[in-house]
C-alpha cells in the first residue's frame, strides 16, 4: 500500500530512544509499509537492518552535512515499489489510525493526485523504549495523549502523496524551515487537493530540543514541545543561521502555508472542503509566521527585531489560540 521514508538524525543521546520508538512504531502499521531510511548518520544503517528496511546512505547534502529535500524525495521515489509515498520525520510515532485513514482517502480519491498532511501531538515525555509486543501499547499511549498531549505548530511532520507530485522541487536543507510549507504551497497553487487529516491521525512527537543542529552558528533551542519559554537569543541564532537563510531565499515569492491552509479536511470519515473559519485561521497563520520570521531572517530588518517583537507579543496568544481551535473546525461542503 505505502512506502514510508525518512532521514534520521544520529542515534545518540535523547534522539536515540525517540527515533527508535518512532521507527519501530511504523513496523506495527497494518498493512506493514515498506520503509526506506536515507542518510549515513550514526545508527541509521543498524536501525534499517533491525527492522528490515531499505537503507540508502548517499543523499545530496549542503556544506553543513544537512540532507537536501529534493534529493531525499527523488531517491525515495525511484527506489520505492509503491505508488503511495509518505515522508515522515524520524521522531514521529504513528498508530493504526494512520493507515486506516489513508486507505479511506485513497478509495475516495481513486487515482487523483493529493497531499495528506496533519499536525502532531506534542508535550509528552517518552524517555524509555515502548514495548511494542504489549497488545495495549497503542491504547496506553493514546491515554497519555489525552491526558498530557496538545497540538504543536500548524506545520506537518508527515506528507502522504502519490509519486510525481512535485516535479520541480527546490534544494531546501531539510529541517531548516521553509521546506515543509513549500510542500503544501506548491500543490495548492496547482489546484491539487491538500487534505488536513489532523482530526483522524494521531501523530506523536516526544519532547526534544534542537541540539542536533550542526552549524556552529546555531545554539540549541529550548523545546517548543515542552511548552517552555524559548530564549529569544537562541531563537534568533537559529533563524539567522546560514542554512535557514538559504532556505528563505529558495522560498522567496511563496506563502508560508501549513495544515490550516489546506483546501480540504478529512473529518468524520469523509472529505470536505475547508470552511470559512479554517480559511480565516489559515490567512492569519500566514501573517503570523511571515511576520515573525521576517525580522530574524531578513538582514535588513534585524535591527528592528527587538521593537517588532515587543509590538507583536500581545498578538501572539491570539494566533496560538486560533491555531488550536482550527483542529476542530471541519469543512462546510463535500468534494
Is 3 within 8 Å of 35 (Cβ atoms)?
A: yes
CA distance 306 to 310: 6
Specify the range with the lowest mean pLDDT, choosing from 218-227, 235-244, 246-255: 218-227
Which of residues 294 and 198 earns the better pLDDT score? 198
Query: What value does the mean pLDDT take over residues 290-296?
Result: 58
Q: Are strands 150-151 and 54-56 parallel, antiparallel or unpaired?
A: unpaired
Confidence at 221, pLDDT banded by 50, 70, 90? very low
Give yes or no for residue 50 having a pLDDT over 50: yes
Number of domains comprising the chain? 1
Query: What value does the mean pLDDT take over residues 109-119?
Result: 96
Calculate what percentage of the chain has a pLDDT beyond 90. 63
CA distance 250 to 216: 22
Confidence at 220, pLDDT banded by 50, 70, 90? very low
The parent domain of residue 204 ranges over 1-335
Q: What is the pLDDT of residue 228?
A: 32
Q: What is the pLDDT of residue 236?
A: 64
Q: What is the pLDDT of residue 268?
A: 86
Give yes or no for residue 39 having a pLDDT over 60: yes
Give yes or no for residue 8 having a pLDDT over 70: yes
Average pLDDT in the chain: 84
Q: What is the pLDDT of residue 277?
A: 74
Specify the range with the lowest mean pLDDT, choosing from 46-50, 105-109, 187-191, 286-290: 286-290
Is 37 within 8 Å of 48 (Cβ atoms)?
A: yes
CA distance 256 to 252: 10
Q: What is the pLDDT of residue 269?
A: 92
Specify the range with the lowest mean pLDDT, choosing from 71-85, 175-189, 260-274, 309-323: 309-323
Please tell me what DSSP assigns to residue 199: T
What backbone phi and psi angles, to 5 degrees, belong to 159? -140, 110
Give yes or no for residue 118 having a pLDDT over 90: yes
Q: What is the pLDDT of residue 303?
A: 57
Supply 91's cell numbers. 521522531
Q: What is the pTM of this model?
A: 0.85
Contacts of 146 (CB under 8 A, 6+ apart): none
Q: What is the pLDDT of residue 299?
A: 56
Confidence at 266, pLDDT banded by 50, 70, 90? very high
Query: Which CATH number covers residue 290?
Result: 3.90.550.10
Query: What value does the mean pLDDT take over residues 66-89?
Result: 98
> 308: buried, middle or exposed (CB in 10 Å: 19+, 13-18, 0-12)?
middle
Query: What value does the mean pLDDT take over residues 266-281?
Result: 84
Q: Tens digits of per-residue pLDDT, 120-176?
A: 999 999 999 999 999 999 999 999 999 999 988 889 999 999 999 999 999 999 999
Q: What is the pLDDT of residue 241?
A: 85
- Return the C-alpha torsion angle 123, 127, 129, 132, nearest 10: -20
Amino acid at each position: 500500500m505505502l512506502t514510508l521514508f525518512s532521514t534520521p538524525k544520529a542515534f545518540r543521546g535523547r534522539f536515540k530512544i525517540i527515533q527508535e520508538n518512532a521507527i519501530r512504531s511504523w513496523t506495527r502499521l497494518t498493512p506493514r509499509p515498506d520503509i526506506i531510511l536515507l542518510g549515513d548518520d550514526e545508527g541509521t544503517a543498524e536501525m534499517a537492518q533491525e527492522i528490515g528496511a531499505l537503507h540508502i546512505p548517499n543523499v545530496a547534502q549542503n556544506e553543513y552535512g544537512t540532507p537536501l529535500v529534493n534529493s531525499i524525495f527523488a531517491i525515495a521515489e525511484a527506489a520505492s515499489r509503491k505508488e503511495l509515498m509518505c515522508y515522515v520525520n524520524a521522531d514521529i510515532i504513528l498508530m493504526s489510525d494512520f493507515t486506516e485513514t489513508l486507505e479511506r482517502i485513497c478509495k475516495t480519491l481513486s487515482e487523483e493526485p493529493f497531499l495528506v498532511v496533519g499536525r502532531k501531538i506534542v508535550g509528552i515525555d517518552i524517555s524509555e523504549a515502548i514495548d511494542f509486543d504489549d497488545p495495549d501499547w497503542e491504547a496506553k499511549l493514546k491515554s497519555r495523549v489525552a491526558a498530557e498531549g496538545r497540538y504543536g505548530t500548524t506545520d506537518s511532520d508527515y506528507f502522504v502523496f502519490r509519486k510525481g507530485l512535485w516535479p520541480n522541487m527546490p534544494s531546501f536543507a531539510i529541517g531548516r524551515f521553509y521546506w515543509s510549507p513549500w510542500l503544501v504551497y506548491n500543490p495548492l497553487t496547482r489546484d491539487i487537493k491538500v487534505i488536513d487529516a489532523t482530526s483522524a491521525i494521531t501523530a506523536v512527537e516526544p519532547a526534544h530540543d534542537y541540539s542536533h543542529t550542526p552549524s556552529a552558528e546555531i545554539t540549541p533551542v529550548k523545546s517548543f514541545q515542552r511548552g517552555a519559554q524559548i530564549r529569544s537569543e537562541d531563537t534568533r541564532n537559529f533563524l539567522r543561521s546560514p542554512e535557514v537563510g538559504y532556505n528563505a531565499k529558495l522560498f522567496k515569492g511563496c506563502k508560508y502555508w501549513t495544515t490550516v491552509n489546506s483546501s480540504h479536511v478529512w473529518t468524520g470519515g469523509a472529505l470536505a472542503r475547508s470552511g470559512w473559519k479554517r480559511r480565516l485561521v489559515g490567512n492569519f497563520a500566514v501573517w503570523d509566521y511571515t511576520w515573525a520570521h521576517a525580522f530574524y531572517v531578513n538582514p535588513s530588518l534585524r535591527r528592528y527585531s527587538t521593537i517588532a517583537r515587543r509590538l507583536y507579543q500581545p498578538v501572539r496568544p491570539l494566533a496560538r489560540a486560533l491555531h488550536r481551535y482550527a483542529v476542530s473546525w471541519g469543512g462546510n461542503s463535500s468534494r
